[in-house]
Amino acid sequence: MIGAGKMKQYTNVLDKPLSKGRQEVSLSGFAYLFSELVQYNQTQVDNIGELERRLEDAGYAVGVRVLELLCHREKGNRRETRLLGILSFVHSTVWKVLFGKVADSLEKGTEHEDEYMISEKELLVNRFISVPKDMGSFNCGAFVAGIVRGVLDNAGFPAVVTAHFVPVDGQQRPRTTILIKFAEEWLLITNRYYEEKQG
Amino acid sequence: MAPAFPRSGDAIFANVERVNAELLTLTYGAIVRQLLTDLEEVEEVNKQLDQMGYNIGIRLIDEFLAKSNITRCVDFRETAEVIAKVGFKMFLGVTASVTSWDTEGTCCSLLLEDNPLVDFVELPDTCQGLYYCNILSGVVRGALEMVSMKTEVTWVKDMLRGDDAFELQVKLLKQVPEEYPYKDDE
């Protein structure tokens, strides 16, 4: 039997030096894996809401680890305390490391104080996904929404994050918007903090 | 002397679109975690990973053949070399080496020293029976089955269990001749 009777030859995984993050794999390899993730989850659920939730949960776990990894590697263990700081971290650093480019845009919601939107013309995970008409507005970007939620939650900015298709004039495929709605208690805390700072 | 390939693994890898390996690592980890939560039994997870790998393998072979311009392999030795040098490089960005051939030339081992799937991974005590990279064995099995080779793929060495490398044993069971879907005499 493999591994049996041998002294543990590898050092503790925490002792290994952290990789620089330059290693690459093929996009198609990732696409196959992602499609298997979606297909497996399809067998486990009865409706689309459940499927989105499961994809989001999978993404959440990725987000948690991405935050830890990038905080250590890219930011020298400095913790973001400002809202705009963490949003620009997600929009630039996280997106660049995971998807190879910064997100297309970061906007503040006009209708609500606590909403922000990260938009992308075509999410990397959706490149090879086509959604059948009977699945309505299902978006595999729920996985990416989960990643964002994982990062924000563990950085101390609880939020509800969802992915939506937004049709664009003149473009065949709709663009995807990740909608971030920050939790109310967080906003109350920040507002009070800034009030006290000014007062 | 190793046969010269129409396109080397490095050349193809340089031409395909690439993503950060960490995205793959973390996504794969999320998949294994989901399976462990859903299925709970380590054996079931192993089987499910192998099945997922098989599903990937039967589709991956098309892309592999299309992008690599490989001509038909003469024998199983060549097949194994191609998988190790071109296949692994094209999709995972790492090359494997082929070792431990048996006398008949139907069984060999693919040795992987670098495996992007297992970065940051440590197996907890509760999951000691888990073959974390079992998806790879499914991929190889599925891909070979689509080119008419029935194989049995098992793990011989696993770094997460204390060995010094990852070793996949690929055993050729039989070559299945291609079946035509129509009869000639009708």
What is the four-CA torsion angle of B167, B30, A17, B135, rounded to 10 degrees? 10
Q: Which amino acid is at A151?
A: V
Q: How far is A118 from chain B (nearest CA, A)?
A: 19
The pLDDT confidence band at residue A83, using thresholds 50, 70 and 90, is: confident
Q: What are the domain boundaries of chain A? A: 28-198
Q: What is the mean pLDDT of residues A108-119?
A: 86
A:B CB pairs within 8 Å: 134
CB contact under 8 A, A24 and B158: no
Q: Is A124 on the interface with B (CB under 8 A)?
A: yes
Q: How far is A93 from chain B (nearest CA, A)?
A: 13
Query: Rounded mean pLDDT of chain A?
Result: 83
- Separation CA A56–CA A162 (nearest Å): 9
Q: How far is B20 from chain A (nearest CA, A)?
A: 5
User: How many other C-beta atoms are found inside a 10 Å radius of the C-beta of residue B94?
Assistant: 17
CB contact under 8 A, A25 and B122: no
- B39 CB-near residues (< 8 Å, 6+ apart): B45, B48
Residue of A10, A25, A28 lying closest to B63 (CB–CB): A28
pTM of the predicted model, to two decimals?
Answer: 0.87
- B180 CB-near residues (< 8 Å, 6+ apart): none
CB contact under 8 A, A13 and B90: no
Please write the tens of the pLDDT for every residue from A168-189.
Answer: 887 777 888 999 998 877 777 7
The pLDDT confidence band at residue B1, using thresholds 50, 70 and 90, is: very low
The pLDDT confidence band at residue A123, using thresholds 50, 70 and 90, is: confident
Chain A: residue whose CA lies nearest to B39: A44
The pLDDT confidence band at residue B2, using thresholds 50, 70 and 90, is: very low
What's the distance, CA A135 to chain centroid? 22
CB contact under 8 A, B93 and A23: yes
Q: Between 3.40.50.720, 1.20.1530.20, 3.30.2020.30, 3.30.1380.20, what CATH number should domain A28-198 receive?
A: 3.30.1380.20
DSSP one-letter string for B40-74: --HHHHHHHHHHHHHHHHHHHHHHHHHHH-PPPPS
Report yes or no: A66 and A147 within 8 Å, Cβ to Cβ.
Answer: yes
- Read off the tokens for B75: 């024998």
* Closest alpha carbon to B178 in B139, B140, B147, B151: B147
Please write the tens of the pLDDT for every residue from B55-107.
Answer: 999 999 999 988 888 888 888 888 888 888 888 998 998 888 998 888 888 88
pLDDT of residue A2: 56
CB contact under 8 A, A29 and B91: yes
**CB-CB neighbors (< 8 A) of A11 in chain B:** none
pLDDT of residue A4: 46
Q: How far is B51 from chain A (nearest CA, A)?
A: 10
Of the given ranges (A28-32, A154-158, B6-10, B167-171), which has the lowest mean pLDDT?
A: B6-10
Q: Is the pLDDT of residue A6 over 60?
A: no
Where do the domains of chain B lie, and which CATH numbers do they carry? 19-175 (3.30.1380.20)
